[in-house]
Every structure is written in C-alpha cells, then in structure tokens.
C-alpha cells in the first residue's frame, strides 16, 4: 500500500508531498491540480508497461495519459535543476525514487535516476492488481468491445470501463473476495448477484444481463427490472438512465477487488442521483477498510457524506480515510493541499473556504 507520495517540478507542483490513507478523497475547485497529482502515478505505470521506465525514461503520451511534451509537464515555478522527480513509498520500507531530465520538446523524458529495488515492480501500481477509471467512461449502448488480453490476463475493465461487460460475462459466477462488501439483500457472493444488489442502490430492483459473442468479438448489455414476482423484458441501455451504465464499471471494479489492490477512480458521481452517490461512498469505505487502496477524485459532497456516515457506523476507521482539499494561491499558479481530519463520529475538524460549502452559500443568498 502506498504510504507517501512526493512530487517535484511537475505541472502545478514545484514541490508537494502527501501521506495517503487507504481511502483518499481528492477534491477542490476545477483546475487546482487534483488530476495532476494522480497523473504522477499513471505516468509511472504507463512508462513501466511500455518498457520505457527502467531503461529510457518517463513516457508522457500513452494508454493512460496524453500530457504532450516536456514543457507541458514541467512546473513553471520549478525550484531546482532541470528535473522532474517522483518519489513513492510503500509499506515494508519499499521506496521508488525516480528522476527525469527536463527536455522541453521531448515526449519521453530521459531517466537520470531510478531505484533498483525489484520489490517496487511487484506493487499494485505496476501489476494487474490495479484499476483506473477515467472520468470519461462508457456511455449507454447495446454492444461493447471485448479483449481477452485485458480481461483475462490483466484483470482490467479498460480505462473508460469499456471492457466491463466482457468482464462481467466471463466472471459473473466467481465469488467476490471481500465478504464484507456483500450486500445484505444479495442471495450469494457471486459477482453478478452482488453487482445487481449494489446497482439496486442506484436504481431499485435493477438486474444486469451481459452476454459475450466470441465469434464477433463483442459483448451485449441489457437491464431488466423486478416488478412484483416477475421481471420486465430486457431493456437496452440507451432506454435506461444514463447513470446506470456510467456507474457499472465503478461497482464492478470495487466488488472484484482483492485486499492489496489499487483503484483510481475519477468523478464517480457523474450522472447519479445523490442517493446513488452516497451509496458509492459507503462501498468505497467498506473496500478500503478491508485492504483495498482507493484514490477518488470527486466534487460530490454526497460521496463524501456517504464516507462520513460509514465512519460513524463503524464501517471504516477514521484513520483509514484521507481527505485532500486542493486550493490555489490567487497570486500565483501554485497549489496547496489542506487536509481536513475525520473523527469517529463522521465530523471534520475544519472546512476551508470552497470545501463543499456552495449549498450553504446559496442558501444564505435565499435567506437574505
């Protein structure tokens, strides 16, 4: 599990450091550097998987990210020599120190220094025990792409969740590993049964159907709804609420996770009713309490409140939650991180200006 992240001279951060928890909430007004911080992890993984990290350097454009060139990655307020530095620490005294030379017009920044501890590349960030779900996920459609390599070898849903339907079709009868994630209304621990139960928190009585057409290399998704003792006919995703299909990769990623896995999820709240957002917060808390490390970028107070309620209900220990509020100095393009602390009653020790306060701000205007 990642225990410390240090960045130097990377985009909005001339120098920044945080100590992540199991469940990490990144929030703040748009353009404050939340995505940038997560990009440091994604760049390292991208470079490793493309076989450039160890021998050549940092690959700025690839499967996960399209940063551009060195001048797009280097901080305009760089404080040291022409280097971009990422340092990642894990439990058990494992540390990656990586330094890359700044070259303004290069899209692969040459390696200057890289730790040679082989245990580094056995960590979830560099293995198949990793999921990244981009803010731009699959939209509703009837058929979806398949990939035996991504699903069966990499255990991946795709960065947009595009292989989720294939994944469910292949693994729907497998038992979820973390029994504490089992929904109380589910009849078994089978992945599809659990997906149905948790998706029911977003849209009541929904059932997910996935089918794989190997010969055509496509998979099909449909929904049906329980009505009394019967079910509706199959309904195409394009005829059901947008949020269901958008949330399906998130629910699948969490339920299929194992202790020690690493999940990075952007904007899980997209297209969801507040109730569904809060339920995702509870799901994240249960997964984190049982050994999964999550980095969640969100603008949703409902996701946060779902986590706060989970802390009060003892579903997660407060010390396993890290809340990071990104804000910028108005006079400089520099980001600072404020960390409100959560207690066992779900309360926060501070709420800086801009931290999920817009509801109160608008209410104050209405009461004038």
What pLDDT does 215 receive?
A: 84
What pLDDT does 333 receive?
A: 65
* Paired tokens of 7: 């960045």
What pLDDT does 89 receive?
A: 97
pLDDT tens per residue across span 23-33: 999 998 776 67
pLDDT tens per residue across span 311-360: 999 999 999 999 999 887 766 667 788 899 999 999 999 888 877 776 77
pLDDT < 50 stretches in the chain: none
Spell out the residues 6+ positions from residue 97 whose beta carbon is closer than 8 angstroms to its own. 85, 87, 113, 114, 115
Residue 271, phi-psi category: left (phi > 0), alpha (psi -120 to 50), beta (remainder): left
Report d(CA 224, CA 197) in Å as an integer. Answer: 13
Strand order in the sheet with 321-328: 130-133, 262-266, 293-297, 23-27, 321-328, 335-338
Cβ 245 vs Cβ 251: under 8 Å:
no
Ordered by where they begin, the domains of the chain are: 1-129+282-368 (3.40.50), 136-257 (no CATH)
Helices (H), 23-104: 34-49, 70-73
What pLDDT does 367 receive?
A: 83
Is 57 strand, coil or helix? strand
What pLDDT does 154 receive?
A: 93
């Amino acid at each position: 599990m990642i225990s410390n992240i240090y960045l130097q001279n990377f985009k909005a951060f001339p120098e920044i450091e945080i100590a992540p928890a199991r469940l990490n909430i990144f929030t703040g007004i748009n353009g404050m550097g939340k995505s940038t911080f997560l990009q440091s992890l994604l760049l390292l993984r991208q470079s490793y998987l493309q076989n450039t990290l160890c021998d050549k350097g940092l690959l700025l454009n690839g499967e996960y990210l399209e940063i551009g060139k060195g001048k797009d990655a280097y901080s305009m307020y760089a404080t040291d020599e022409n280097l971009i530095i990422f340092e990642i620490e894990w439990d058990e005294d494992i540390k990656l120190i990586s330094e890359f030379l700044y070259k303004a017009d290069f899209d692969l920044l040459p390696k200057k220094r890289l730790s040679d501890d082989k245990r580094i590349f056995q960590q979830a960030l560099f293995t198949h025990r990793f999921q990244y779900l981009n803010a731009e996920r699959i939209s509703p459609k009837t058929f979806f792409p398949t990939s035996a390599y991504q699903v069966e070898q990499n255990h991946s849903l795709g960065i947009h969740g595009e292989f989720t339907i294939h994944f469910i079709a292949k693994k729907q009868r497998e038992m979820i590993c973390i029994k504490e994630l089992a929904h109380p209304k589910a009849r078994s621990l089978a992945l599809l049964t659990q997906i149905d139960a948790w998706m029911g928190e977003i849209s009541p009585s929904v059932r997910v159907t996935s089918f794989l057409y190997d010969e055509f290399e496509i998979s099909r998704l449909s929904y049906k709804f329980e009505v009394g003792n019967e079910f509706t006919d199959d309904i195409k995703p394009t005829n059901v609420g947008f949020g269901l299909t958008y949330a399906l990769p998130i629910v699948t990623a969490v339920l299929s996770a194992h202790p020690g896995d690493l999940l990075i999820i952007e904007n899980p709240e997209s297209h969801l009713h507040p109730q569904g957002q809060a339920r995702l917060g509870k799901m994240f808390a249960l997964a984190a309490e049982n050994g999964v490390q999550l980095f969640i970028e969100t603008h949703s107070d409902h996701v946060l409140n779902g986590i706060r309620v989970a802390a009060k209900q003892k579903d997660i220990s407060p010390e396993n939650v890290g809340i990071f509020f990104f804000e910028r100095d108005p006079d400089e393009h520099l980001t600072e991180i404020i960390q409100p602390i959560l207690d066992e009653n779900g309360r926060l020790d501070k709420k800086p200006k801009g931290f999920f306060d817009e509801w109160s701000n608008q209410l104050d205007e209405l009461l004038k």
